Structure 1
Amino acid sequence: MAATGTDSLLEAQSAPAAAGTARTTQTVVNNTDSVNVVSAAAQKATPSVVTIAVTSGTTGGTGSGIILDTQGHILTNTHVVTLDGKAPNPALEVRTSDGNVYPGTVLGADPLSDLAVIKVDAPNLAPAALGDSSKVNVGDTAIAIGAPLGLTGTVTDGIISTLNRTISVASSAIPNNPANDSGQPDSGGSFSFAPPDSSQSSAPTTNGNVSLNVIQTDAAINPGNSGGALVNTQGEIIGVNVAIASAGGNSSSGTSAGNIGVGFAIPINNATRIAQEIATHGSATHGQLGVTITPKAAGKKSHFSIGAAVADVAAGSAADKAGIQKGDVITALGNRAIQDASELTAAVHEQPAGATLDATLTRGGKQQQITVTLGSSTTQP
């Protein structure tokens, strides 16, 4: 179902928060003389972060979300609104920072980006101020706001650990061995979504992997933080918290997952495009290259890969039309350097269908550039 009134989506100015009658979760400032940049950023951004309760039968959990506009569009993760794949049509409740609770409706969920938009009918919402994730630096202060373990309004801080990291996360929403841009991801079992905090320990049936380009941070992210905000020192949203690395296990049910200082967020610039498309059309588009890729291009004896080696090219695909051939090694797409199969998959799916961009490849030991116009991914929500 397409949303209405999308002209106000992602509006720049925030409306004042309502004075709720329920217990609030506003950021507390007891001593204005000692306010630092984290305190100020948290106070600005917290009213724009909500807690999302998701239930389906006897299964339930909590996640987080970001208010986009006064029309009630809220950005979160696909794995939040589906209880990590356990519930395709759950009931949703949204609690705002003033303590009020509203029913929510899923407008659309996009598994390739693990982003979803829900809608609430609520007064006096406080839209988030959105930053520019292309201007983030490694070492910048990063602040995570959300509801880890169901603890609404939790603020943690750290730094941006790295940019343009690609992770592959097991997802029940992605078909196994999808027909486009497929390959064996190098890091498929190393990461898990920061799932809705839940007492249920049963894991979803996993079909495939979703490859995401993310910001890495050491700000503490735990189950329940998913869909919440990663914020800069100006209180602007620079990312949507999505996943964590786990040293003790890789269960996406969250039973063994916890913060070890390696968390991930989807850059807000990419998330904004997806949110706008979902709010307008109920779904989002993704580019398709039309190749099968192998995980290693640096030789069987090397632990490291250099580019994505093309094993096959689909006839009539974007790659075929651009002149990409079997045996080519793709080393860059647009402004993304490509080290392995997962990075190519993430770079392609980050683009909208029909995007035209340059690619760098090696053929017969010689580097060359081509221009490719991407097709449309056939993987549907």
Structure 2
Amino acid sequence: MLHCRVRVVVTSKIPIIERVLAKKHLSSKFVHRCGAVVMYCMKKKCLVGRPHSLIVAVVLLAGYLGTVGLTVKAQSLVVAPTPSDESSETKIPVPEDLQNILSAGTVPKTLAQLRLLEQQFGKVSAAAKLCTVSIKIGQAQGCGVIIDGGGKVLTAAHVAMRPNKPATVILANGQRLKAMTLGLNKNVDAGMLQISPGQNEGAEWPHATLGDSSKLARGMWCIATGHPSGFDQARGVVTRVGRIALVKQSALRTDCALIGGDSGGPLFDLSGNLIAIHSRIGNDIEENLHVPIDNYINSWDRLAAGDSWGTLPGFRPVLGVQGNSQVEEAVIDIVRSGSAAKKAGIQEGDIIKEFGNRKITDFQSLKAAVAETMPGENVRVRGQRDGRIVFFRVVIGRGE
């Protein structure tokens, strides 16, 4: 039924579909995938009124690549690198026939061009998975990407949490490395880590080639990698292919299908250049936001030095208490109902002495300590109640 519908809608004017559908090696899943993608395209506002060739290209890509918002494993796209491709970076030469698709975000017009595009996706995916890492900080998990031979890693600020925090970086092969968080630019959700030296026998780490996000435009193809729902060595790095839907200086929006656990992972263009880092994961296919790479480049020195600045929109840490900043101790006057403090057992009249690794001397220092955390972070708190020492485990709340 769907097969017939695809033929009626698309193939009456585009003979090439007849040749593709006639191929015997196509599985029955192709039919269902075609139907789903065509219906998506027909309803998508940005595609209304576009030529049939756009729908044809999307259908072909859906059948051959499982792209346009669908998830595929990196291994399924892997193309054995040629000697000229063997490098510690992700830069992949773009064939002349794909140059316009790279720069203008157009779609393939021939089957030969489509096959070239598929091969290009595979080569970028193969290179990207070597430098895409999983990051664990305490119980929290996210992703990152190695961006130089010395082991610097870019991630999202809400993944790194704060400077000077021990972290574990996990490579695609399962190797676990010690690392330390560096700086955070919370205004745009940019973070950096450093893999501790002496863990690669003096060799350089495989790393991404930095791109230029100022040259990006709506419609350009992009390749997202990460570890959705956490690291799984049997599954490996997961690759998603999509297109850029919106370009701003502080954020990109794409239709790459990302989920929890992908935050902090890399976004590449068709030539393998790193163009952005995954930031906020949306509920809708087009709500995923990424931090353009120029935001990292422009504040590189501060990030590398371990500075932390700004406020991350939608990620304001909240403890849920009030006190008097004029008093010499951090006495809790009010504990809000349903707050992180209330859930942890903190009561009115308690005096906070330590918050994480920080000594607390007054309510102002408590506010400063909370401001350095991230929502969802688990913090050990030492307090005093009626002259007795008490301890709490607080899961930091989230405010707008």
Question: The TM-score by the shorter chain falls in which range?
Answer: 0.3 to 0.5
TM-score w.r.t. length of structure 2: 0.45
TM-score w.r.t. length of structure 1: 0.47
The higher relative CO (CA closer than 8 Å, separation ≥ 6) is in 1
Structure number having the greater helix percentage:
2
